[in-house]
């Protein structure tokens, strides 16, 4: 009898769903086209907090404590417009918003979110990280280092106070320049270069957004 009871109790406990794990994250957001009227709930039973997007920089830092996914809602209707499942090991993410095409929208969500570990440990001062969302195969140089970019996030490069970037792509057995610029950084600053598809169909010149900031924990830059 005791063995039977123990077996039943074990089965019941095994079938009981675990409480959703609470995570604490301090995040920033960015979108190539700033988004208006989007909010999130920082903690359970608190009013939604509106988030602010900047056109050429990370947003202010926001804090969230709760279960995943982290949901973003329309300020007016309260309808969910985006959500992100942030891995437990990422405490300081940058959330990159991009519009979802109407035909591929899932559950009415208007934006998809890419989660980037934005901690100083992964991307510290004097570092350049490149995200290739362009859809093109890009290769070239950063200062004197040869680089071949994969789709998405690429390894952080130590560039110090400046980086001369030249990127090319191939088309019909010819090579074309897709991006070229020189990035200058102040003391303790870092740079994130995000490459988007060309603005005009058929063009091979990518669109770019350069986000420069001081990673959390580093001193304020002295100019």
Q: 128: exposed, middle or buried (C-beta count within 10 Å: 0-12, 13-18, 19+)?
A: buried
- What is the maximum span of the chain, computed from C-alpha positions, in angstroms? 80
Same domain, 35 and 92: yes
The CATH number covering residue 64 comes to: 2.60.40
Same domain, 159 and 199: yes
Contact 134, 197 (CB under 8 A): yes
CA torsion sign, 27 to 199 to 55 to 161? positive
Same domain, 31 and 107: yes
Identify the domain boundary among 83, 117, 151: 117
Domain count, the chain: 2
State the residue range of the domain holding 49.
23-117
Identify the domain boundary among 117, 152, 173: 117
Identify the domain boundary among 56, 83, 117: 117
Per-residue tokens: 14: 């095994």
CA 156 vs. chain centroid, Å, equals 14
Residue 222 carries which DSSP code?
-
Mean pLDDT by 10 residues, the chain (223 residues): 41 45 96 96 96 97 97 96 97 96 69 96 97 98 98 97 98 97 98 97 97 79 41
Bridge-based pairing of strands 127-132 and 152-153 is antiparallel
Q: Which pLDDT score is estimated for 18? A: 47
From the CA atom positions of the chain, what is the Rg in Å?
22
Q: Which pLDDT score is estimated for 147? A: 98
Q: Would residue 93 count as lying in a domain?
A: yes
Q: Would residue 154 count as lying in a domain?
A: yes
Q: Would residue 223 count as lying in a domain?
A: no
Same domain, 113 and 131: no
Q: Is the pTM higher than 0.75?
A: yes
Distance between CA atoms of residues 163 and 91, nearest Å: 28
Q: Which pLDDT score is estimated for 108? A: 78
Q: Which pLDDT score is estimated for 95? A: 98
Same domain, 104 and 171: no
Same domain, 30 and 113: yes
Q: Which pLDDT score is estimated for 102? A: 66
């Amino acid at each position: 009898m005791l063995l039977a009871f123990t077996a039943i109790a074990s089965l019941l406990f095994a079938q009981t769903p675990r409480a959703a794990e609470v995570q604490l994250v301090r995040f920033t957001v960015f979108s190539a086209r700033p988004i208006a009227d989007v909010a999130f709930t920082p903690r359970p039973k608190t009013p939604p907090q509106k988030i602010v997007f900047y056109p050429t920089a990370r947003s202010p830092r926001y804090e969230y404590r709760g279960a995943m996914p982290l949901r973003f809602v329309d300020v007016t209707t309260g309808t969910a417009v985006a959500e992100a499942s942030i891995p437990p090991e990422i405490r300081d993410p940058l959330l990159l918003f991009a519009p979802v095409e109407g035909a591929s929208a899932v559950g009415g969500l208007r934006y998809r979110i890419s989660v980037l570990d934005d901690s100083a440990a992964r991307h510290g001062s004097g570092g350049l990280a490149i995200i290739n969302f362009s859809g093109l195969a890009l290769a070239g140089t950063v200062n004197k280092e040869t680089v071949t970019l994969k789709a998405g996030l690429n390894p952080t490069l130590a560039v110090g106070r400046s980086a001369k970037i030249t990127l090319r792509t191939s088309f019909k057995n010819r090579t074309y320049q897709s991006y070229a610029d020189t990035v200058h950084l102040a003391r303790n600053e870092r740079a994130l270069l995000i490459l988007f598809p060309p603005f005009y169909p058929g063009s091979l010149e990518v669109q770019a957004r350069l986000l420069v900031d001081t990673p959390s924990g580093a001193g304020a830059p002295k100019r």
